[in-house]
Structure 1
């Protein structure tokens, strides 16, 4: 499947990009035009845009891999599994161009298209600034059975800003029918056209950002000790809970509007339990199973008749926090019970299992962002450049919590930086 090309920043494109980047030098400059903090999808797309416009760019990543919360595990079983983001949402996602450039294949997740009829708020009275989405829908008289299924993948609507959802058209986005797709061979295949030829320093954790009108100096810790990286500009793509925890110090402190925005936003918690079985445990004609409990159950493996049966049991919000409070063995026992109830029969014990606790991951401190009541202006406030040298990008500046949202944010933020330069 092919999507619409929305990015002019990939100036070479496709095979030409990979061929040209393969011979790129290591670029050991002491000074950089731009330093990008974070090699997730946002950081990589930001660096790609800047490098393709001729700037000297270095990407500093605390992890020992790229991708951030796009994390494909190739060692768990013969089928790559996604410990983080897993789906392309809809046929119009901007990331389809990465599918094309990477030469990747996709498969559609076999389930009923997502829909929640009757939740359009077009023409309705506007929400109050501090009103939650749940209170707003109740005030409009929308029955809960017709509410969009935000809580299936995030916090309940009582924790979302109604004003933000209306401004961004989120009620319609969540309610509209949508097909989802997986990338065969691993979602991380889409990282190659973004990362190839870039200077990416792994295992480099930024501890402090010292900024002034003349540029930035980053204090970075790594295997070789502490070093300083200087650049004319800096793009920070840090997750919201990392910003809230002040894991990176800003000197001088960020303006009050930025600090208030960081304090107003938050991230949900999520857990994904991945289990491999030696026999099929889901119906042959479905990848997802409807279930009235708090956990979603779906297969991630049916890419060929000979693939092992790998099932993901997934939860977010309160359900995820309840699971994460359990010891790991009890957590998987709860996942097996959910699978058995959804499938209508008790599954066998898994032959392998794995998980990743994003809440305890020091480089994320949670899953993905949500916008609480009263915080609808916070993403835009955080996106404002600081002193003409410091730029923020990522879901905390957009409120988007999808891979395509991260991809778009990296380009959008650096388009502004390029215009400023």
Structure 2
């Protein structure tokens, strides 16, 4: 079955966006800072210690690269600006009654490389395959089944797939990289952790930061990177996505479909907690992209929430329907992301972006727009680096 517009956005991927990090209550719809999970303690590693490789960024790409390098016997430390792993793969464990995805939502395709991470932990998934649609308000709903489903949601949280990648890695959280000095065979990374300066020295670095962060010159490189590389960073297009999650204490769609396509509504509507055990409520995902997302994001959060709620009320046939909780995150305003979604269909400078700088700086992720692509990119960067460094651990 084909649809005139994607059910969950371009390439079937959603990365969550909207007004900062906001949590709304039933009574006040008030905004507040979402809390992340408490990270596990950093195993091993000493500030300023000489390393084989320093990995900048603990998203899927950075962790994948670090895992391969560590398993090959390299001394590796991962530097992460946030207090959690995952980057734009962010499962919030307790903002609602069940874990919710503020970032990447789905595994795409049955042959994605990340399935190995799902299977290794015995995780369960829910296949998004059922759609309700109607062409006019008041018409009966038509339920359809997608013949070849391509969106699979990890029950209990997508971020779980990263656990084996991060296992026993030295990860330095709350550490913001400011400057990277690089010469042949040596890199010095200058960072800040809670107001203190920290330095890491290594033979090489894997840079696994979003391209929007690199394009904004948030990290200084000395000497400066080649102009063709920085020009390629700045030429990468992005587009806006607005994503709001609303929790209700009862079912709100006419049937238990994964998606609802409503007449004349330019947004995606999805049951975001299908398959969650022992959960009788509903979490509705409402999203928009590009021009419609930009319009919504220009509104005050309360008004944006109200627009989405009115649509859900119309579908439910209940004008008094009120959410228990509301949650959203705007990646474009997140200083460690600076954009929600890379428009991979219009990238022209991938070769320049991934070209190593000497034998010192390697690049992973950067412009990938799916978690499995990030995972693959990290593996490829690590393999490329190992070919340069050799398999045995080196001393500076």
TM-score, normalised by the number of residues in structure 2: 0.79
Which residue in 2 is equivalent to 1:30? 49
Query: How many residues are matched?
Result: 333
Report whether the alignment pairs 1:279 with 2:250: yes
Tell me the CA shift for residue 345 of structure 1.
5.2
Quote the Cα distance in structure 1 between the aligned partners of 2:220 and 2:320: 49
| Residue in structure 1 matching 2:110, options 85, 91, 96 | 91
**Unmatched segments (≥5 aa) in structure 2:** 1-39, 132-146, 390-396
Larger RCO (alpha carbons 8 Å, 6+ apart): 2
From 321, 325, 335, the equivalent of 1:362 is 335
| RMSD of aligned Cα (Å) | 2.2
Per-residue CA deviations over 1:308-358 (Å, capped at 9, x if unaligned) read: 211111122222211111111011011112323455654611111111111
Q: Choose the corresponding residue for 2:307, options 298, 309, 334.
A: 334
Asked whether the equivalents of residues 254 and 315 of structure 2 are also in contact (C-alpha less than 8 Å), the reply is no
TM-superposed CA distance for 1:387, in Å, is: 1.6
| CA deviation vs aligned residue, 1:264-290 (integer Å, no higher than 9, x gap) | 112222221111112210133301111
1:332 alignment partner, SS class: helix
Other-structure match for 2:199: 228
* CA distance in 2: counterparts of 1:321 and 1:80, whole angstroms: 27
Kindly indicate whether residue 260 of structure 2 is the aligned counterpart of residue 242 of structure 1.
no
Q: 1:80 aligns with which of 92, 96, 99?
A: 99
Separation of aligned partners in 2, 1:39 and 1:342? 40
CA-to-aligned-CA distance 1:114-145 (integer Å, 9 cap, x gap): xxxxxxxxxxxxxxxxxxxxxxxxxxxxxxxx
For 1:17-416, what aligned pairs fall within 5 Å after superposition? 26-28=44-46, 30-111=49-130, 177-291=148-262, 292-302=264-274, 303-304=276-277, 306-343=279-316, 346=319, 348-371=321-344, 375-376=347-348, 378-396=349-367, 400-416=368-384
Whether the 8 Å contact between 2:69 and 2:382 is mirrored in structure 1 is yes
Q: In 2, are the aligned partners of 1:241 and 1:266 still within 8 Å (CA)?
A: no
Say which structure is richer in strand: 2
Task: Note the C-alpha offset of 1:77.
Answer: 2.0
* 1:289-308 CA-partner distances (Å, limit 9, x unpaired): 11342211101123246432
Cα distance change of structure 1 residues 200 and 71 upon mapping to structure 2, 3 Å threshold: same
Q: Who is 1:163 aligned against?
A: none
Aligned partners of 2:327 and 2:268: how far apart in 1? 16
Once residues 87 and 128 of structure 2 are traced to their aligned partners in structure 1, the CA distance between those partners, rounded to angstroms, is 23
Query: 1:67, 1:371 → 2: CA distance?
Result: 20
Greater share of residues in helix: 1
Decide whether aligned partners of structure 1 residues 349 and 414 sit closer, same or farther in structure 2, where only a CA change above 3 A counts. same
Could you tell me how far apart the structure 1 residues matched to 2:43 and 2:184 are? 30
Q: 1:192 to 1:340 in 2, by over 3 A?
A: same
Alpha-carbon distance in 1 for matches of 2:43, 2:256:
50
How far apart, CA to CA, are the structure 2 residues paired with 1:41 and 1:289? 30
Measured in 2, the distance between the counterparts of 1:63 and 1:305 equals: 32
The answer on whether the counterparts of 2:102 and 2:329 sit within 8 Å (CA) in structure 1 is yes
Offset of residue 241 of structure 1: 1.1
CA contact (8 A) 1:297 1:342 kept: no
Distance in 1 between the 2:236 and 2:228 partners?
13
Alpha-carbon shift at residue 111 of structure 1 (Å): 2.7
